[in-house]
């Protein structure tokens, strides 16, 4: 913990803007942007906080001392995260969100019949968008072969089959833009061999006229970014660059961007790590809303794949108590973790830009939908056709 805190100080002094904003406690004021409601969306943006349960969000709000950007969205529901296996992993969770099909843990973009072990590759929301002539983007603050970005772009029996996942994403996906944390040269080669053009400077993404591009960056504020020498790109800036690139398509676009490391903070039961990642994620959400605010064709959805760590805030968890715990490297009595793994806790889903009647989805209860129905909602918004039964 202490080691991490020192790294954080170093990075803050090095000038990572979104981090230093947190540490001095005067983040830019968010004005709670409400997008114009549409029934058919030209652009759909799905922002996933990996491992971001309701208590993580509440901790972020208390830490910041004001509502987060995502909490200012006009509509919210709860999402059940279970996989076929039961307690979900990130592979099955991403597959559910990306394809609308519940699968077994470990499987990426693929359904497995648990009796016959027969598998079926699933159509993703990226494929749906591509079929409508839209551009598509997949961004993660972790390596590209992480379970969540792969759920939107690859098919494999295992989230650990990295070579197969990367080849699948590079050669068979309908993704126009991939951007992630630094990946190995051999994985970068898989993309260049598949005619993806590498963009070394994230600031140049918006100017690209290429059909297929990818980038491998040290994305601040992420924990791993601190381990890497060289230039950083802030998560919010990276996503804004991607929005400029994707929106050049007159048919619109689909973008999935994941704040991958909120999950790692949970696995490590490290509140400092979790808070930094969550705030960086929310800064990115705010930047997306800022980009979309004058448009009348864009829907933004914020959700999580599952909760990680079983975080619970005690009644003593005030702004001051959370900040004090943060400043003491996580030491504080205002919260508890119950596990180093994932939990079955329902996650929050926030939607801005569309007035969704969540009651039409299968739980028939507007307070709770299934993770697979997030796909249905996005598909319905893009096609203008109702797919819910």
Beta strands at 119-121 and 347-352: parallel, antiparallel or unpaired: unpaired
CB-nearer residue toward Zn ion: 134 or 267: 267
Q: How far is the CB of 259 from Zn ion (least distance, A)?
A: 13
Q: How far is the CB of 263 from Zn ion (least distance, A)?
A: 4
Rounded CA gap, 108 and 151, in Å?
5
CB-nearer residue toward Zn ion: 272 or 334: 272
CB-nearer residue toward Zn ion: 109 or 266: 266
Q: Assign residue 357 a region (left: φ > 0; alpha: ψ between -120 and 50; beta: otherwise).
A: beta
CB-nearer residue toward Zn ion: 143 or 263: 263
Rounded CA gap, 135 and 295, in Å?
17
Return the half-sphere exposure (C-beta side, CA atoms, 13 A cut-off) of residue 83: 27
Q: How far is the CB of 306 from Zn ion (least distance, A)?
A: 7
Strand, coil or helix: what is 8? helix
CB-nearer residue toward Zn ion: 80 or 383: 80
- Interface with Zn ion in residues 307-346 (CB under 5 A): none
- Which tokens belong to 39? 């029934």
CB-nearer residue toward Zn ion: 77 or 308: 308
Strand, coil or helix: what is 51? coil
Binding-site string for Zn ion from residue 173 to residue 192, where x marks contact by CB under 5 A and - marks none: --------------------
Whole-Å CA distances, 341 to 49, 318, 344: 16, 26, 10
CB-nearer residue toward Zn ion: 309 or 332: 309
Q: How far is the CB of 270 from Zn ion (least distance, A)?
A: 13
HEC letters along 94-114: HHHHHHCCCCCCCCECEEECC
- Interface with Zn ion in residues 252-271 (CB under 5 A): 263
Q: How far is the CB of 103 from Zn ion (least distance, A)?
A: 17
- Which tokens belong to 65? 């001392």
- Which tokens belong to 174? 């309908």
Q: How far is the CB of 379 from Zn ion (least distance, A)?
A: 26
CA dihedral (15, 243, 265, 301) in degrees, to 10, reads: 140
Q: What are φ and ψ of residue 234, in 5° steps? A: -70, 145
Strand, coil or helix: what is 292? helix
Q: How far is the CB of 18 from Zn ion (least distance, A)?
A: 23
Residue showing the smallest CB distance to Zn ion in the complex: 263
With contacts defined by CB under 5 A, how many residues of the chain interact with Zn ion? 1
Give contact residues for Zn ion (rule: CB under 5 A).
263
């Amino acid at each position: 913990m202490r080691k991490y805190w020192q790294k954080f100080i170093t990075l803050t002094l090095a000038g990572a803007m979104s981090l230093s904003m947190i540490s001095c406690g005067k983040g830019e004021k968010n004005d709670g942007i409400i997008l114009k409601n549409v029934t058919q969306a030209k652009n759909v943006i799905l922002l996933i906080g990996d491992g971001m349960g309701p208590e993580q969000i509440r901790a972020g709000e208390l830490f910041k001392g004001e509502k987060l950007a995502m909490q200012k969205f006009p509509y919210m529901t709860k999402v059940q995260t279970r996989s076929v296996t039961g307690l979900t992993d990130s592979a099955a969770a991403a597959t559910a969100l990306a394809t609308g099909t519940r699968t077994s843990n470990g499987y990426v973009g693929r359904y497995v019949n648990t009796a016959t072990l027969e598998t079926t590759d699933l159509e993703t929301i990226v494929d749906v968008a591509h079929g409508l002539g839209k551009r598509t983007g997949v961004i993660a603050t972790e390596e590209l072969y992480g379970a969540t970005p792969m759920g939107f772009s690859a098919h494999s029996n295992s989230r650990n089959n990295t070579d197969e996942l990367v080849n699948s994403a590079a050669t068979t996906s309908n993704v126009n833009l991939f951007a992630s944390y630094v990946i190995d040269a051999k994985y970068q080669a898989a993309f260049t061999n598949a005619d993806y053009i590498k963009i070394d400077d994230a600031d140049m993404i918006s100017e690209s006229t290429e059909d297929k591009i990818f980038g491998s960056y040290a994305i601040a504020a992420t924990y791993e970014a601190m381990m890497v020498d060289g230039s950083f790109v802030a998560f919010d800036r990276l996503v804004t660059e991607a929005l400029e690139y994707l929106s050049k398509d007159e048919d619109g676009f689909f973008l999935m961007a994941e704040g991958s490391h909120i999950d790692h903070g949970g696995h490590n039961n490290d509140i400092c790590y979790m808070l930094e990642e969550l705030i960086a994620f929310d800064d990115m959400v705010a930047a997306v809303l800022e980009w979309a605010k004058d448009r009348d064709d864009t829907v933004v959805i914020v959700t999580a794949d599952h909760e990680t760590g079983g975080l619970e805030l005690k009644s003593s968890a005030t702004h001051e108590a959370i900040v004090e715990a943060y400043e003491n490297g996580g030491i504080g009595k205002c919260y508890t973790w119950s596990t180093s793994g994932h939990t079955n806790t329902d996650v929050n889903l926030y939607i801005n830009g569309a007035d969704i009647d969540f009651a039409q989805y299968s739980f028939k209860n507007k307070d709770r939908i299934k993770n697979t129905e997030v796909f249905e909602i996005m598909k319905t918004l893009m096609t203008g056709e109702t797919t819910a039964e």
